[in-house]
Amino acid sequence: MSMDRVYNFAPGPSMLPLEVLERAQKELLCYGSTGMSVMEMSHRSKMYLEIFNKTVADLREVMNVPENYKIMFVQGGATAMFSAVAMNLMDGGKADYVDSGNFAHNALEEAKKYGEVVVAGSSREDHYTHIPAYTLSADAKYVHITTNNTIYGTRWDHIPQTGDVPLVADMSSNILSEVYDVSKFGVIYAGAQKNVAPAGVVILIVREDLMGHELPITPKVMNFKKMADADSMLNTPNCFGIYLAGLNFEWIKAQGGVKTLEKINIEKANLLYDFLDNSQLFKGTACARDRSRMNVTFVTGSADLDAQFVKEAAAQGLVNLKGHRIVGGMRASIYNAMPIEGVRALVSFMKDFETHNK
């Protein structure tokens, strides 16, 4: 690592690739020959539209998004999408939600305001340590899942078969970390601050036939059809955040694409889980089958020792390892931007800590 940068294991906002930051730094004061920063450009200007259109095209390429899907960059976080999905798709019917974590639960609670929510499966009683079994309704307007559960460190190891019922996925914490077949989904959304860009941008991918069925109360900026028709510019978009997302997509391409990153992400996660499985002190908290490759949750069994670990790790430049406030313990978020050296450094520190605190 250059300068005095640390290995930042934060869950989001989180680490960005150093190359992306350096490129942004280089272009910060003067982008190309424009004589201005991207922050200062009109979103309608030719130069900005070039950046925007390239960003959309690069995302289409790295995720292999079919032509009959619109790619949008919207605002309000993934949280706004909890409402937007229901307002655009519920259409007077009901929807199946799989309750696999805190965000999944928030999504279904929000959707209840706009239609009938069926909880198709839930692991809430088990503190969300696994992806629940589920039963889908044949007549649902859509099925909603959360592909990676950021707080509890679990991941769906399969894509549910929903037949003609559109599948909606909150991919906030694992988008672009593994290959997904976009054609299996009706809607994909993701807050950018976990694996793509700074906070304030949401990636929204919607199959065209699912647009235009929104409830009349749907705000304009949450209306999939209107936002798609306006090319994400019904209002002023997060221009600089979208530009940074674009730099990240270019970085992904330079790494060899999502497929290559997926391989590295599996290797990174295995390093940590193999250590946890053999440790006398640390213990992983997620059920082995459903373990996340992005958020690795673990404990020592003692809250005091957990706190000591987080503190001593930070002193070694391994920061933000404290677990989410509602679960405690530790969580190492190892998104695309976390180099494997960071994970090695963490495992090595954990070994040391174990030796001294067994």
Ligand X SMILES: *Cc1c(COP(=O)(O)O)cnc(C)c1O
Q: Which residues in this chain contact ligand X in the complex, by CB under 6 A?
A: 12, 77-79, 103, 146, 150, 170, 172-173, 191, 194
Q: Residue written as tokens 């798709």?
A: 89
- Shortest approach of ligand X to residue 18 CB, angstroms? 23
- Shortest approach of ligand X to residue 65 CB, angstroms? 20
User: Which C-beta is closer to ligand X: that of 93 or that of 328?
Assistant: 328
- Shortest approach of ligand X to residue 263 CB, angstroms? 23
User: Which C-beta is closer to ligand X: that of 106 or that of 308?
Assistant: 106
Query: For ligand X, which residue has the nearest CB?
Result: 77
User: Which C-beta is closer to ligand X: that of 150 or that of 279?
Assistant: 150
- Shortest approach of ligand X to residue 77 CB, angstroms? 3
User: Which C-beta is closer to ligand X: that of 172 or that of 320?
Assistant: 172
User: Which C-beta is closer to ligand X: that of 88 or that of 146?
Assistant: 146
- Shortest approach of ligand X to residue 136 CB, angstroms? 20
User: Which C-beta is closer to ligand X: that of 149 or that of 300?
Assistant: 149
Rounded distance, CA 233 to CA 329, Å?
42
Closest CA to 183 of 166, 199, 204, 203: 166
User: Which C-beta is closer to ligand X: that of 191 or that of 237?
Assistant: 191
Rounded distance, CA 207 to CA 229, Å?
13
- Shortest approach of ligand X to residue 98 CB, angstroms? 13
User: Which C-beta is closer to ligand X: that of 55 or that of 173?
Assistant: 173
- Shortest approach of ligand X to residue 172 CB, angstroms? 3
- Shortest approach of ligand X to residue 169 CB, angstroms? 10
